Chains A and B, each alone.
Chain A
Amino acid sequence: MAPTERIPRLFRAIVVLGASLTTNCGDSAPPPVDAHVVADATIDAPAPKDALVDADLVDTVIIL
């Protein structure tokens, strides 16, 4: 995967998902929690053990 593809994925995995842990996104719903999400699709990762995954994010991330 080229750096131009990796960087946006890292940004989403680190910054966007990190910030979402404490942000209510404008309503009273709890923030999405995904404690084991990582961006790099080149990683041949094992199945998640206990991740709670926001289904909307699954298409862009790989879960460790």
Chain B
Amino acid sequence: MIDQLSAEQRATLAALWEARAISERGVATVMATLVTQLTAAAADAAVIALAIRAAADELAHAEACRRLASAYLGADVPTALPRPVELTRDPTLDDRQNTTLHVVNLCCIGETIAAAFVETCLQHCEAAVIRGVHRNHLADEVVHARIGWAHLASTAVSDDDRGLIAARLPNLLAVQLAAWESQIAKLPVDGIAGHGYPPRAEVAATVAAAVETLVIPGLAYVGIDVGPASAWLAQRAT
């Protein structure tokens, strides 16, 4: 199937998968940091266990992406070092509160959107090997997203924490959506049929739908007041 691609398409796909490999390594670093933070915050053991698994999963994703990049390029793509990643810390909050916001940002929002994104990509895969990469990736993204929902449903998160999350949600969504939009802008406008890259507009619609139908209802499901976030989204849409 790769042989049927033009040289330009192969180069594009190789670059996209190499970039994803680098990104996955960065996320592995973030997840490892989150394990430390969750442990210090006395999070539920089930949540910490999922985060530990996630850190390892992300490294495996990175390798799968690197191999796929190599297949498209027709040459071995070396393992790249991730860009340095540091979780932003609000000095007005204590460590436990910062950890809770990190979990909401990374897992309830970021990984939940990522699961919807990968699921959409999966609908655009034809070759078994590419479907396999996306299928495994989707299964892992679902588990990584659960870190956030499990944490917010746990007794480690107080009513005051829920109020804090509600107040900060518009900012968190703004940062996440800006990051997704930046990444979407780098994708081929028309996608690459059969290779897991939908048209850019479909990816953008998937991200918007994920926020509207997964993230916001999910936060309401675990007892967060989504009024401020919903108002921000409505204002953003006008």
Contacts and interface: CB of A to CB of B under 8 A. Distances in A.
A7 B213 contact: yes
Interface string A1-39: 001001100110111111111110000000101011111
Interface size range of chain B in the complex: 20 to 34
Contact of B145 (A3, A7, A14): A14
A10 B116 contact: yes
B188 to A, nearest CB: 22
B225 to A, nearest CB: 16
A52 interface: no
A15 B221 contact: yes
A38 B139 contact: yes
A18 B143 CA distance: 8
Interface stretch (B6-14, B65-73, B75-83, B147-155): B147-155
Contact of B138 (A17, A21, A31, A38): A38
Contacts of B50: 21, 35
Contact of A14 (B122, B135, B142, B153): B142
A19 B135 contact: no
Contacts of B123: 42
A4 B152 CA distance: 26
Nearest to A64: B139
B214 A14 contact: yes
B23 to A, nearest CB: 20
B63 interface: no
B138 A7 contact: no
A38 B122 CA distance: 13
B39 to A, nearest CB: 15
B122 A43 contact: yes
Interface of A: 3, 6-7, 10-11, 13-23, 31, 33, 35-40, 42-45, 64
Q: Shortest 7 CB-CB distances between A and B: which pairs?
A: A18-B146, A18-B149, A19-B153, A22-B154, A15-B218, A64-B139, A21-B150
7 contacts: A7-B213, A10-B142, A15-B149, A17-B146, A18-B148, A36-B139, A40-B122
